[in-house]
């Protein structure tokens, strides 16, 4: 049996790890490590209480800090765990500092690394997540790609071995959660399809006062109410910069996964700088307007369900007014069984090492 360490630490990773963890069964023994990169209940505890992911075997409680400080503390703590227990591989998700630290710790100790969500690029090295995902890909032994385009990008970078196109595990998460989310959709406290949902948290959008004001001005030009489940980073910046919200924006607490799905599904549109919501909007057939000049999910733009928004005050409103549903949907990011494909790839690549 393969003895696997899964390392997660942030809200998107809990969602991605859940379906794979539930399907490992008796073929993979998983030791689940939570670094504590996200640590308050709404960003972390709710996902375990809700059953999106099982309770971790160990929680490191790293907390927040600068990129270097946070990554360094994670690296030190993970190295001690990896030295103390023999793992056949380390599994990481996405592009957070947790992913970077676990990838470095595994590589230094010569433990095979599995990277789920490999091959994504936005081609902007000023985005911290871009550095993390590039490093993880180039250290990985097994690379599980959500799309053929992601696999092709790895080939362009000289990564030829251990590459598998598995589809996107977030689709598995959505399908797992959707019956429960749909059953209670009528209890949503917001009026269906009469408003937009907003998420805004990336440093390039919220860590600079003028940029945050600009993005909120763009949202304020929309002629409909907007619900904003706020990230702690954004709340701090609003207070620090003393920014008054446009009248059409309502702040709410970060939402548990199923409630967020209901919120998206009953909204007229999604406005976001989150990678995950770009895909969930596509799967739930809601137009997405991404407050970034680039995306690591270009397929959603190519098929017409996602629009990148520039920096003009009226860019968002104009894009929303001109949007029309695409006539054709090629079916992006797999068949909803990515978790099984990832587990099969693990067994194929690492079965002899158990």
Q: Rounded CA gap, 143 and 121, in Å?
A: 14
Q: Rounded CA gap, 11 and 16, in Å?
A: 9
Q: Average pLDDT for residues 37-55, to the nearest whole number?
A: 78
- 303 class by beta-carbon count within 10 Å (0-12 exposed, 13-18 middle, 19+ buried): middle
Q: Is 43 helix (H, G, I), strand (E, B) or coil?
A: helix
Q: In terms of pLDDT, which residue wins out, 169 or 38?
A: 169
269 pLDDT band, cuts 50/70/90, is very high
Contact 25, 84 (CB under 8 A): no
pLDDT score recorded for residue 38: 73
Beta bridge partners of 289: 271, 307
- 3.40.50.150, 2.40.37.10, 1.20.1260.10, 3.40.50.2000: CATH of 176-322: 3.40.50.2000
Q: Average pLDDT for residues 98-125, to the nearest whole number?
A: 97
Contact 144, 345 (CB under 8 A): yes
Contact 139, 107 (CB under 8 A): yes
Task: Report the chain's C-alpha Rg in angstroms.
Answer: 20
CATH number of 2-168+335-353: 3.40.50.2000
DSSP E strands in 223-349: the ranges are 226-229, 249-252, 269-272, 288-290, 306-308
pLDDT score recorded for residue 44: 75
Q: Rounded CA gap, 118 and 152, in Å?
A: 11
> pLDDT (tens digit, 9 = 90+) per residue, 55-89?
999 999 998 888 899 999 999 999 999 999 999 99
230 DSSP 8-state letter: -
| Domains 2-168+335-353 and 176-322 are alike in CATH topology | yes
Q: Is 349 helix (H, G, I), strand (E, B) or coil?
A: helix
94 DSSP 8-state letter: T
pLDDT score recorded for residue 40: 65
161 pLDDT band, cuts 50/70/90, is very high
Q: Rounded CA gap, 34 and 52, in Å?
A: 14
**Residues 6+ positions from 334 with CB-CB distance below 8 Å:** 146, 147, 166, 167, 168, 171, 341
Q: H/E element holding 91?
A: strand 89-93
Tokens 């079965």 label which residue? 351
Contact 211, 204 (CB under 8 A): yes
Q: Rounded CA gap, 166 and 164, in Å?
A: 6
Whether this model's pTM surpasses 0.75: yes
Count CB-CB contacts under 10 A for residue 204.
Answer: 15
Residues assigned a catalytic role: 201
pLDDT score recorded for residue 186: 46
Domain ranges across the chain:
2-168+335-353, 176-322
> pLDDT (tens digit, 9 = 90+) per residue, 222-257?
989 999 999 888 999 999 999 999 999 999 999 989
pLDDT score recorded for residue 246: 97
Least trusted range by pLDDT, from 21-25, 92-96, 189-193, 202-206: 189-193
**Residues 6+ positions from 276 with CB-CB distance below 8 Å:** 12, 15, 170
Q: Above pLDDT 70, what percent of the chain? A: 94
Angle between helices 209-220 and 232-241 (to 10 degrees): 100
> pLDDT (tens digit, 9 = 90+) per residue, 286-333?
999 999 999 999 999 999 999 999 999 999 999 999 999 998 888 899
**Residues 6+ positions from 122 with CB-CB distance below 8 Å:** 129, 130, 292, 294, 295, 296
> pLDDT (tens digit, 9 = 90+) per residue, 7-43?
999 989 999 999 999 999 888 999 999 999 876 655 6
């Amino acid at each position: 049996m393969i003895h696997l360490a899964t390392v997660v630490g942030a809200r998107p990773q809990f969602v991605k790890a859940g379906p794979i963890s539930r399907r490992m069964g008796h073929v993979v023994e998983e030791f689940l490590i939570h670094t504590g990169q996200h640590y308050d209940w709404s960003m972390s505890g709710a996902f375990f209480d809700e059953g999106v992911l099982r309770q971790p075997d160990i929680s490191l409680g790293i907390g927040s800090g600068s990129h270097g400080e946070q990554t360094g503390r994670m690296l030190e703590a993970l190295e001690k765990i990896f030295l103390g227990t023999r793992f056949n591989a380390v599994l990481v998700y996405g592009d957070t500092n947790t992913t970077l630290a676990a990838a470095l710790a595994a590589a230094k100790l010569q433990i095979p690394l599995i990277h789920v969500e490999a091959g994504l690029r936005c081609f902007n090295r000023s985005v911290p997540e871009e550095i993390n995902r590039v490093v993880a890909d180039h250290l990985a032994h097994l690379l599980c790609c959500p799309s053929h385009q992601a696999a092709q990008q790895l080939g362009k970078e000289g990564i030829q071995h251990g590459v598998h196109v598995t589809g996107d595990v977030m689709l598995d998460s959505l399908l797992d959660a959707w019956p429960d989310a749909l059953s209670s959709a009528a209890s949503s406290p917001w009026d269906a399809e009469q408003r937009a949902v907003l998420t805004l948290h990336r440093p390039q959008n919220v860590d600079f006062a003028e940029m945050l004001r600009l993005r909120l001005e763009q949202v304020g030009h929309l002629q409909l109410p907007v619900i904003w489940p706020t990230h702690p980073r954004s709340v701090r910046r609003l207070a620090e910069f003393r920014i008054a919200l446009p009248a059409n924006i309502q702040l709410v607490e970060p939402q548990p996964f199923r409630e967020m799905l209901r919120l998206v599904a009953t909204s007229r549109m999604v406005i976001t700088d989150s990678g995950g919501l770009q895909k969930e909007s596509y799967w739930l057939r809601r137009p997405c307007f991404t407050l970034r000049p680039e995306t690591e999910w270009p397929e959603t733009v190519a098929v017409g369900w996602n629009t990148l928004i520039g920096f003009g005050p009226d860019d968002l409103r104009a894009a929303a007014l001109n949007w029309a549903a695409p006539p054709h949907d090629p079916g992006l990011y797999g068949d909803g069984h990515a978790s099984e494909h990832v587990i099969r790839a693990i067994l194929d690549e690492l079965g002899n090492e158990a």
